[in-house]
Amino acid sequence: MTKNTSTDPVPLLQDLVRCRSVTPDEGGALTLLENLLSTHGFTCHRLIFKAEGTPDVENLFARIGTTGPHLCFAGHTDVVPPGREEDWSHPPFAADIDGDFLYGRGATDMKGSVAAFAAAVIDHLKSTGKPGGSMSFLITGDEEGPAINGTVKVLEWMRANGHMPDHCLVGEPSCVEKLGDTIKIGRRGSLSFVVTAEGRQGHVAYPHKADNPIPKMARLITRISEATLDSGNAHFDPSTLAVTTIDVGNPAGNVIPSRVTAKFNIRFNTEHSHQSLRDWVSSEIEAVKAEQGGIWSVTSHEGADAFLTEPGAFVGLVQDAVARETGILPRLSTSGGTSDARFIKDYCPVLEFGPTNATIHMTDERISVEELRATKAIYGAILEAYFNNQP
């Protein structure tokens, strides 16, 4: 089939940015995508999920093709609030173009990737007439929010309805300095702790009659802050621990408090699990308790598992496609916070590639028009390679 006129992602991104889809509001962004993809042969499903105590969330799953190989593009159209709109040089939902830059909330995180991939898919279908397998979009409105009624539940629906992909590409803005410099093949895990030490309240003039819990907590904080959790491994930097607060709730300067609470977070690599880290924290508390006593309690919250998509055919295919389009061989990274890839990794191999992330969540978030079109070209190269040489 003869290739038709190239689809420009710029006007599509402008339309998406003008949708005020601040989490959890859909803002018209999913409707826009649904109409576009339906026009090009996709079967679309609008999926609304609810949970007690959380807002209802609209999501979109769209697929063309019924056979394998099946490549899924995952992303989100919800955005963080813009903050004080008067601080922006261009209105955050106007999608103004100034020079080479398109300004707006979500321009890079991550409506830019959504627009670029959609444009690449449309051109691929114009060129081939069919995907040579299946292509799908998993687009959530809950990535920037609690992440309860979004990707997690869409994946469950996909599995129940026979839509499991062979591979998934998440369009998070992965590049650091220049488009093409980084592919994310994994993410660190996250585990948060709240630890409380209790003693006995008393007058500061008679400290021997009290049992001050603050030195006990200080000892624990010193121990865990100075500990080396690991030395990293081939794909991950060393795990890190950050103390975020120590609180006694004591407004008086002449009273020894009876209780102190500390909070800290561990970002960990594949050398650890949530349970192994809970065990380690417990052992550190027991060591301080043996030294200084006190009544201790601890709770933890699991943020995400550490995971890695091992370098192989799929990673190599994407890496080669990026290198062909940019002249840069992207490094394989596991840095950064969390993304919805942490849910997808339980279903299929997943990696993340998208534009540079210099302005995400910032005032005057923006993307270069040239970079947006180049991102579309990279996604097009990935599609061509995937369906001509399935990994």
Residues taking part in catalysis: 78, 143
Cβ–Cβ contacts within 10 Å for residue 249, how many? 9
Output the six-digit token pair for 144: 């920037």
Residue showing tokens 């409380």? 196
Cβ–Cβ contacts within 10 Å for residue 316, how many? 12
Q: How far is CA 272 from CA 223, 275, 339, in A?
A: 19, 8, 19
CB contact at 8 A, 342 and 155 = no
CB contact at 8 A, 242 and 264 = yes
Q: How far is CA 47 from CA 82, 155, 316, in A?
A: 26, 11, 33
Instruction: Using the CB atoms, write b or e for 76-100: b if 16+ within 10 Å.
Output: bbbbbebeeeeebebebbebbeeee
Residue showing tokens 């890695």? 308
What residues pair up with 212 in beta bridges, in sequence order?
A: none
Output the six-digit token pair for 142: 């809950």
DSSP 89-155: SS-TTT--EETTEEESTTTTTTHHHHHHHHHHHHHHHHHHSS-SSEEEEEEES-TTTTSSSSHHHHH
Nearest in space to 312 (alpha carbons), one of 327, 329, 332, 328: 332
Q: How far is CA 205 from CA 127, 188, 209, 254, 370, in A?
A: 83, 47, 9, 8, 69
Output the six-digit token pair for 121: 């898919």
First to last CA, the chain: 24
What residues pair up with 304 in beta bridges, in sequence order?
A: 190
Residue showing tokens 């400290």? 207
Phi, psi dihedral angles at 193 (to 5 degrees)? -125, 150
